[in-house]
Each structure stands twice: as structure tokens, then as C-alpha cells.
């Protein structure tokens, strides 16, 4: 592959956007050094008056690729913590866990420890997760409870995903296995995944660019990531029951999501209990944080920072 691919340039640009938002990159050792969580975080000495917000990315590229349209606007109102989940970006754990330890609940334990390492003990945080990150956010909220986690945003994330949903997704994606769809190894599969992820066409992307993205984004930790997909416990009635959360919850969903169709948004909202509201973003698919950045960010701010109407800027 060419040494001057577009992906490393994009990567450098996205990292600069995080740095421009005032975030610093940190590698945080956990479990006595057996686990390293890489994250972008608020700088030491940031104003303690600002609330803490944790952003959890979905399956695929690292956090800088998935949250770049959010960090600028959100960093003005929050102290941000934006980790790479285990086996994404620079986050690692050794030895490689067996399948059951790869579940999204295990990811949530690592995120909870990371929060404990960065945030002062008495500080409550809010958590936003998109797609797979929504699975993790749900578990973080359950694990830490309402005394530690104040508000939760579940974005484009089917917490009730079962086998029938997987089969329907594979039919839409023309694939035989979920990991084959979510971990594209060829330009054609990358193109198909992007068609599923976005509602509005992205314009024609030439094969060599897609090959470059596959090489850069989907060539590391493939076995571990396959393990993560296999170990998802949500939707597996034997392993896990979805219960309502005690926190205030916002469910955010793109109207034309082809990964997790919109009818699942209503089911998830009903299942999560009385403190939940649903907001649907029109004209966007599975990635509303990119396709309708302005409305997505507004929805987050309105929910996470409830303000008396007089003080709205």
C-alpha cells in the first residue's frame, strides 16, 4: 500500500481537531498495568465548574474519527473524556481475554476504571455512547449507578439486538456474518458498510481510497474485534436482561438508520423506563453525529445542560 495514503493524513487532521478543542492525549494504565486505556481528556487544571462528559465511540475507527464534529462545541461546556475502547486505537489489555471477558460489560468496567482514574471521586459524570458505544454506555450507567452517572445518551444503539435483527442486517448488507460486515477487509465491503451507515450518499469514493481506509482502520486487532462481536451479551436472553436505568436517558436515532432500524428506537425507549425521552433526527442514518452535526450537538446540549429559557444563549 502507498506510504502516502489519505487515511494517515485524515488521522492527523482529526487529532489536531481534538487538540484544538483543548484536549490532551493520555495513556492511562489500569489493573496494575495489564490494561492501557488511551483517551483524549480535559487538561489537568480545567475549570471544575464544568460538568464531566464521557463520549464512547462505536465499532470501527478510533474515537478521533467518530467524535470529531462534537469535541469543539462540547469542550466549551464540558470537561470531556473520550476514550478508545479496548482493542480500538491505542487501548489494550493483556493477556488477550477469553470471549466472555470481551463483552460490552467488560468494556464498561474498563471505562468505569478510567473515569475513576481521571475524575475526582465525588464528581458525577454524564455518558454518551453511539452504536456499540451505546451498549457500553448502558452498562457504565448500570455499573456506576445514579450517584456517579447523572445523565445517559444512547445514540443509534439497539440495546435489544437479537439474532433476528442480526439476520435482517446481514440480508440488508449482503453478508454472511456480522463480523464480515462490521470489519470490512476489501474496498467493496468498505463501500457496502458506508452505504449502510450513511443516509445521504457520500459521493463516489474511488477504490484506492477505500483500500487505504480498510488498511488503516481495519487491519489491527481483528481477532480481538471478532471476539468483541461474538461476546455481545445484549439481546442474549440467557446472558442478559435489559432493565430500566435510574438516570435521565435520551435515546437519539437517525430516522433512516439501516444498521439499527428506527422501529428499534421505540422498543428501546419503552424498555428503558419512565425517565427516557426519544429524539429522532430526520434525514440521517446510523451516523447522525456526522450527517446532522448541528442538530445532534443541539440535542446533546439541550438534554445534558437543562437551562432556564431566560439564560439560553
**What's the rounded mean pLDDT across residues 228-232?**
90
User: What is the domain partition of the chain in residue ranges?
Assistant: 6-304
Least confident of 21-30, 199-208, 247-256: 199-208
Q: State yes or no: pLDDT of 202 exceeds 60.
A: yes
pLDDT reported for residue 161: 93
pLDDT reported for residue 308: 54
pLDDT reported for residue 51: 97
CA–CA separation, 24 and 16 (whole Å): 10
CA–CA separation, 22 and 80 (whole Å): 10
Helices (H), the chain: 6-20, 63-66, 68-75, 104-118, 132-144, 163-173, 178-182, 187-197, 207-217, 222-230, 262-271, 288-291, 293-304
CA–CA separation, 70 and 113 (whole Å): 24
CA 31 to chain centre: 23
Q: Which of 126, 130, 129, 134 is nearest to 159 (CA)?
A: 134
Q: State yes or no: pLDDT of 192 exceeds 60.
A: yes
pLDDT in tens, 70-116: 999 999 999 999 999 999 999 999 877 666 668 899 999 999 999 99
Q: Which of 143, 131, 136 is nearest to 246 (CA)?
A: 143
R_g of the chain, CA atoms, integer Å = 18
Burial 283-297 (b: 16+ CB within 10 A, else e): ebbbbbbbbbbebbb
CA–CA separation, 178 and 180 (whole Å): 5
Q: State yes or no: pLDDT of 23 exceeds 60.
A: yes
Classify 46 as helix, strand or coil: coil
pLDDT in tens, 287-302: 999 999 999 999 999 9
Tell me the pTM.
Answer: 0.95
203: left (phi over 0), alpha (psi -120 to 50) or beta: left
Q: State yes or no: pLDDT of 29 exceeds 70.
A: yes
Q: Within 13 Å, how many C-alpha atoms sit on residue 250's CB side?
A: 25
pLDDT, the chain, mean: 92
Confidence of residue 307 (pLDDT cuts 50, 70, 90): low
CA–CA separation, 190 and 195 (whole Å): 9
pLDDT reported for residue 311: 43
pLDDT reported for residue 186: 96
Q: State yes or no: pLDDT of 1 exceeds 50.
A: no
Share of the chain above pLDDT 90, in %: 85
Q: State yes or no: pLDDT of 247 exceeds 60.
A: yes
pLDDT reported for residue 2: 47
Domain made up of 6-304: CATH architecture = 3-Layer(aba) Sandwich (3.40)
CA–CA separation, 121 and 69 (whole Å): 29
CA–CA separation, 102 and 89 (whole Å): 16
pLDDT in tens, 39-49: 999 998 899 99
pLDDT in tens, 252-285: 999 999 999 999 999 999 999 899 999 999 999 9
**What's the rounded mean pLDDT across residues 113-125?**
95
Long-range contacts of 220-224 (CB under 8 A, 24+ apart): 221/87, 221/88, 222/183, 223/96, 224/86, 224/87, 224/96, 224/102
124, three cell numbers: 458525577
pLDDT reported for residue 254: 98
pLDDT reported for residue 101: 66
311, three cell numbers: 439564560
Q: State yes or no: pLDDT of 313 exceeds 90.
A: no
Concatenating the DSSP letter of every residue in 202-248 gives -----HHHHHHHHHHHSSSSHHHHHHHHHT--TT-TTT------SSE
Q: State yes or no: pLDDT of 148 exceeds 80.
A: yes
Classify 54 as helix, strand or coil: strand
54: left (phi over 0), alpha (psi -120 to 50) or beta: beta
Q: Which residue did the predictor score with more confidence, 99 or 186?
A: 186
Q: Which of 76, 89, 74, 81 is nearest to 112 (CA)?
A: 81
Amino acid at each position: 500500500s502507498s506510504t502516502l495514503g489519505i487515511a494517515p493524513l485524515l488521522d492527523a487532521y482529526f487529532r489536531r481537531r481534538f487538540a484544538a478543542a483543548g484536549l490532551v492525549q493520555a495513556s492511562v494504565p489500569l489493573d496494575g498495568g495489564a490494561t492501557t486505556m488511551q483517551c483524549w481528556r480535559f487538561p489537568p487544571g480545567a475549570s471544575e465548574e464544568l460538568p464531566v462528559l464521557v463520549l464512547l465511540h462505536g465499532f470501527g475507527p478510533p474515537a478521533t474519527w467518530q467524535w470529531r464534529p462534537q469535541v469543539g462545541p462540547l469542550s466549551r461546556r464540558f470537561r470531556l473524556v473520550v476514550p478508545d475502547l479496548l482493542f480500538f486505537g491505542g487501548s489494550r489489555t493483556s493477556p488477550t481475554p477469553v470471549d466472555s471477558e470481551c463483552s460490552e460489560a467488560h468494556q464498561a468496567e474498563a471505562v468505569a476504571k478510567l473515569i475513576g482514574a481521571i475524575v475526582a471521586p465525588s464528581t458525577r459524570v454524564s455518558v454518551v455512547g453511539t452504536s456499540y458505544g451505546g451498549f457500553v454506555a448502558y452498562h457504565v450507567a448500570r455499573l456506576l449507578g445514579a450517584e456517579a452517572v447523572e445523565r445517559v445518551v444512547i445514540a443509534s444503539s439497539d440495546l435489544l439486538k437479537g439474532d433476528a435483527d442480526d439476520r435482517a442486517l446481514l440480508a440488508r448488507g449482503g453478508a454472511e456474518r456480522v463480523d464480515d460486515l462490521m470489519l470490512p477487509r476489501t474496498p467493496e465491503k468498505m463501500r457496502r458498510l458506508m452505504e449502510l451507515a450513511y443516509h445521504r450518499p457520500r459521493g463516489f469514493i474511488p477504490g484506492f481510497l477505500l483500500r487505504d481506509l480498510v488498511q488503516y482502520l481495519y487491519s489491527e486487532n481483528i481477532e480481538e474485534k471478532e471476539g468483541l462481536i461474538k461476546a455481545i451479551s445484549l439481546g442474549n436472553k440467557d446472558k442478559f436482561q435489559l432493565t430500566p436505568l435510574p438516570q435521565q436517558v435520551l435515546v437519539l436515532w437517525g430516522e433512516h438508520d439501516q444498521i439499527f432500524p428506527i422501529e428499534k428506537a421505540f422498543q428501546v425507549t419503552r424498555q428503558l423506563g419512565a425517565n427516557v425521552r426519544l429524539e429522532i433526527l430526520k434525514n440521517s442514518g446510523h451516523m447522525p453525529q456526522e450527517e446532522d452535526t448541528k442538530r445532534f450537538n443541539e440535542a446533546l446540549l439541550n438534554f445534558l445542560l437543562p437551562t432556564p429559557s431566560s439564560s439560553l444563549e
